[in-house]
Amino acid sequence: MMQGNLYSMRETFGRLLAELGETEKDLIVITADVGDSTRAMYFREKFKDRYFNVGISEQDMVNFAAGLAAVGKKPAIVNFAMFLMRAWEQIRNSIARMNLDVKMFVTHAGYSDHGDGSSHQALEDITLMRVLPNMKVIVPADPKDIERSLPVIIKERGPIYYRMGRDYSPPITVGQEYDFKIGKAYVIKEGSDLVIMGAGVVLWDALKAAEELEKMGISTAVINLFSIKPIDEDTIEYYARKTGRVITIEEHSIYGGIGSAVAEVLAKRYPVPMRFIGATTFGRSARSQRDLLDYYNINYKSIIREAIDLVK
């Protein structure tokens, strides 16, 4: 699961999902011809009778999952984030509208499918999913967060969109001690002058920026917004009041994404100056996910620039 000093999100997820299949007897995994790429194959190897590949047919996959949930099974859709968006209408009408117990586990989100370019890079999916009534949206920061949350997610009732990358995952929350709860944010660094809020692998940049800002005398908190919907309004308000300045960072569009979710909370609770770091256009092909994060200025250097401007 570890490559040098990096970890694989999909590898951790796939192996743990197969382990959970031992005790969750009603768990059924459905893919659309991406079982190997998403590592759902580990579940297939253990439970062939509870694994279905519907082919490149995402809309059918969603409706099939809805039917299984309607008769009391626990279907888990496992797919690329971008490909699942082809079935947004079916997710809306067949799953969210009926509040069915379907889990949607997506890999290759954000820029993580760096080699295949913009057609495969989901930068709008959080927006599309959090707008749906009944839908919960969860974004783990690293494989340790997957280990914390996946057993909880499987047992939770109702539709959940669970967003992961591919193989680029620095160790962000290793050594942190917290139990995952839906609707809860986690403080991974304390600070009093500024707070950085975000989710996913870019929290590595948040921590790196906070470390550099401390050297400049700017005390910086970092919040892991693990649960995007429902979101932890109390923690967001507390740190906005404590620091008076908020920066959000996400491997996703700034339009309707995590920054927007934070701004919605603070607009009604405690408005403060904010800066938003994230995508503003489509992606492109590159040699690595990190190259793309740097190319689009979704990195610690951008956070530092915005932080200095905010403090001034």
Q: In the prediction, which pLDDT does 305 show?
A: 97
The helix/strand/coil state of 121 is coil
Burial 126-164 (b: 16+ CB within 10 A, else e): bbbbbebeebbbbbbbbbbbbebbbeebbeeebbbbbbb
Q: What is the pLDDT of residue 5?
A: 62
Residues in the chain predicted with pLDDT less than 70, given as ranges, are: 1-5
Domain extents for the chain? 2-163, 186-311
Give the pLDDT of residue 47: 97
pLDDT tens, residue by residue, 121-166? 999 999 999 999 999 999 999 999 999 999 999 999 999 999 999 9
In this predicted structure, what is the pLDDT of residue 129? 98
What is the second-level CATH architecture of the domain 186-311? 3-Layer(aba) Sandwich (3.40)
306 is catalytic: no
Is cis: bond before 151, omega within 30 of 0? no
Q: What pLDDT shows up at residue 312? A: 86
The catalytically annotated residue of 11, 22, 45, 58 is: 58
Same fold, 2-163 and 186-311: yes
Token pair of 240 as six digits? 């906005």
CB 100 within 8 A of CB 133: no
Write the DSSP symbol of residue 112: -
Single-letter code of the amino acid located at 49? D
The CATH number fitting domain 2-163, selected from 3.40.50.970, 3.10.20.440, 3.30.565.60, 3.10.350.10: 3.40.50.970
- Which pLDDT belongs to residue 4? 46
The torsion angles phi and psi of 230, rounded to 5 degrees, stand at -70, 150
pTM listed for this prediction: 0.96
CA–CA dist 192, 266 (Å, integer): 17
Residues 6 or more apart whose CB falls under 8 angstroms from that of 297 comprise 277
